[in-house]
Chains A and B, each alone.
Chain A
Amino acid sequence: MSRFQTAPAVLLVCSIALACGKKAEQATDSAVAVAPAPSPSVSAIALGRHLGSNNVVSDTASVFGRRDTIYVSVTVQNAAPTSALTAKWTFQTGQLVDSTSQAIARTDATNATTVTEFHISKKSAWPAGKYKVEIWLDGATVGSRDFQVK
C-alpha cells in the first residue's frame, strides 16, 4: 500500500478517536471515581509496659504501677501519607494528662500497615486511679482504652 492510499485510513482512525475522546475521558473519570483509595483504619490498639519490634506492645496490660512507663501501640491499615494520630491521655476526673500527635510513617508505598507508639511517664509517681487513652486518626476518634494505676 502506498503512502497516498494509507492517508484516508489514518484520517478515519483519527476522526473516530477524536469523536470518542470525550466519552473515553468520561469513562476514565468514572473508573477513578468507583475505585477510591482504601480508607485508613485502625486494626489494633494495645496498652502495655514494653515495646517489642516495630513499635508493637509486647506485654499487653490494663493495670500499671505508679512508676511505670505506659505505652500504647496503634496499628493502622492504609494510612494516607498525610495521616496523623493523636493520643489523648486523661485521668478519671477528666483532667488532661497528656496529648501527643504523631505523623504516621509510610516509608514503603506498597506497605499498608504501620504501627505508631505513644508513651507517657511521670517523674513523680502516677496518682492511683482510673485513666483513659483516646486515639484520634486525622481528627476523628477511632478508639480508646481504659487502664488503672495501683
Chain B
Amino acid sequence: MTNPNEPLPDFSDVESGSSSASMPEAEAQQQTYTVKSGDSLSRISRQVYGDASKWKLIWEANKDIVRNPDLIHPGQVLRIPQA
C-alpha cells in the first residue's frame, strides 16, 4: 500500500520511443519464446497473450518437443502461435 504522505516519484526524465513494421506472414507464424527457470505454459501464455488459459495453443504448436505440458525446461525454444 502506498503512503499518501510520500512524495510522488519524478518521471520527468523518462525517454520514450516507438516504431512499427509489417511482418512477413511466415515470420508472424514463427514467434518464439525461450523458456526460463520457473516458467510454465500457463505463465508464458499469460505473458504473451495476457490470458493464462490459452496455454493449450502453445502446447499444440510445440507437441513435437513438449510431450508433457507440465514439464518444460529452461532453454527450450517454443513456437508462439497467433492467438
Contacts and interface: CB of A to CB of B under 8 A. Distances in A.
Contacts of A92: 2
B31 A112 contact: no
Contacts of B24: 111
Given A53-B27, A95-B8, A95-B9, A119 B80 contact: no
Contacts of B18: 87, 100-102, 116-119
Interface in A94-148: 95-98, 100-108, 111-124, 127, 143-145
Interface size grouping (class) on chain B: 20 to 34
Contacts, number: 117
Contact of A60 (B17, B25, B48): B48
Contact of A77 (B13, B14, B48, B82): B82
B14 A105 contact: no
15 contacts: A44-B48, A44-B49, A46-B48, A54-B27, A77-B82, A97-B14, A100-B16, A104-B20, A105-B20, A111-B23, A115-B21, A116-B20, A116-B21, A127-B9, A143-B50
Interface of A: 43-47, 53-56, 59-60, 62, 75, 77, 85, 87, 89, 91-93, 95-98, 100-108, 111-124, 127, 143-145
The 3 closest A-B pairs by CB, nearest first: A102-B18, A113-B28, A105-B20
